[in-house]
Amino acid sequence: MSLAAMFPDPVAAPAPGTQLMCVERLSVTFGEGEHATRAVRDISFDLRAGERYALVGESGSGKTVTALAMLRLVEDARYQGAVRFEGKDLMQVSDREMRGIRGSEIAMIFQEPMTALNPLYTVGNQIVETLALHEGLDRRAARDRAIALLERTGISDAANRFNSFPHQLSGGQRQRAMIAMALACRPKLLLADEPTTALDVTIRAQILDLLRDLQAEFGMAVMLITHDLNLVRAFAQRVGVMEKGVLVETGVTSEVFASPKHPYTRKLIDSRPKREVLPLVPLAPVLLETDGLCVNYAKKRPGLAGWFMKEQFVAVKDVDLQLREGETVGIVGESGSGKTTLAHAVLALQRKSGGSIQFLGKSFDACTHKERSSLRSRMQVVFQDPFGSLSPRMTIEQIVGEGLALHQPGLSPEAMRERVIEVLREVGMDRTALGRYPHEFSGGQRQRIAIARVLILKPQVLVLDEPTSALDVSIQQQVLALLSQLQHKYNLSYLFISHDLAVIRAMAHRVIVMKNGEVVESGETETVLGAPQHAYTRKLMAAARLGAG
pLDDT of residue 305: 57
Q: How far is 339 from 501, CA to CA, in rounded Å?
A: 14
Residue 271 vs residue 404, higher pLDDT: 404
Domain at 286-291+322-544, CATH from 3.40.50.300, 3.30.70.1150, 3.30.830.10, 1.10.1740.10: 3.40.50.300
Amino acid identity, residue 335? S
Of 467, 456, 402, 462, which Cα lies nearest the Cα of 429? 456
Q: Where in the chain is the domain with CATH 3.40.50.300?
A: 3-7+18-270, 286-291+322-544
H/E stretch holding 261 reads none
Across the range 397-406, mean pLDDT stands at 93
More reliable by pLDDT, 414 or 33: 414
- Per-residue pLDDT tens digits for 497-533: 998 888 999 999 999 999 999 999 999 999 999 999 9
The pLDDT value recorded for residue 497 is 94
- Out of 1-15, 55-69, 222-236, 347-361, which region has the weakest mean confidence (pLDDT)? 1-15
Domain 3-7+18-270 has CATH 3.40.50.410: no
Average pLDDT, the chain: 88
| Residue among 79, 87, 529, 53 at smallest CA distance from 256 | 53
| Lowest-confidence segment of 82-86, 369-373, 510-514, 545-549 by average pLDDT | 545-549
Task: Quickly state the pLDDT bin for 222 (edges 50, 70, 90).
Answer: very high
- pLDDT for 1 beyond 70: no
Helix 201-218 × helix 171-183 angle, to 10°: 10
Is the pLDDT at 15 greater than 80? The verdict is no
Which pTM does this prediction carry?
Answer: 0.78
- C-alpha angle with apex 244: 241 to 250, nearest 5 degrees? 20
What's the confidence (pLDDT) of residue 546? Answer: 41
The three-state secondary structure class of 92 is: coil
Q: Is the pLDDT of residue 89 over 70?
A: yes
Distance, in Å, from the CA atom of 10 to the CA atom of 7, rounded to the nearest integer, reads 6
Q: How confident is residue 547, by pLDDT bands cut at 50, 70 and 90? A: very low
Residues shown for the chain: 549
Res 500: pLDDT: 85
List of E strands, 417-472? 461-465
CB-hemisphere CA count at 13 Å for 209?
A: 13
Cα–Cα dist 463/47, whole Å: 45
Q: What is the pLDDT of residue 262?
A: 96
Nearest residue to 398 (alpha-carbon basis) of 410, 390, 387 = 390
Residues of the chain above pLDDT 70, percent: 94
Confidence of residue 548 (pLDDT cuts 50, 70, 90): very low
What is the rounded distance in angstroms from the CA atom of residue 447 to the CA atom of residue 184?
41
Strand partners, 328: 494
Q: What is the pLDDT of residue 9?
A: 56
Picking from 70, 96, 73, the residue whose alpha carbon sits closest to that of residue 81 is 70
The predicted structure's pLDDT at residue 542? 86
| First-residue to last-residue Cα distance in the chain | 37
Q: How confident is the model at residue 270 (pLDDT cuts 50, 70, 90)?
A: confident
pLDDT at 319 exceeding the cut of 90: yes
Ranking 82-96, 106-120, 252-266, 489-503 by mean pLDDT, the lowest is: 106-120
For Cα atoms 239, 243, 246, give the angle at the middle one, nearest 5 degrees.
85
Establish how many alpha carbons lie within 13 A of residue 105's alpha carbon, considering only the half-sphere containing its beta carbon.
Answer: 17
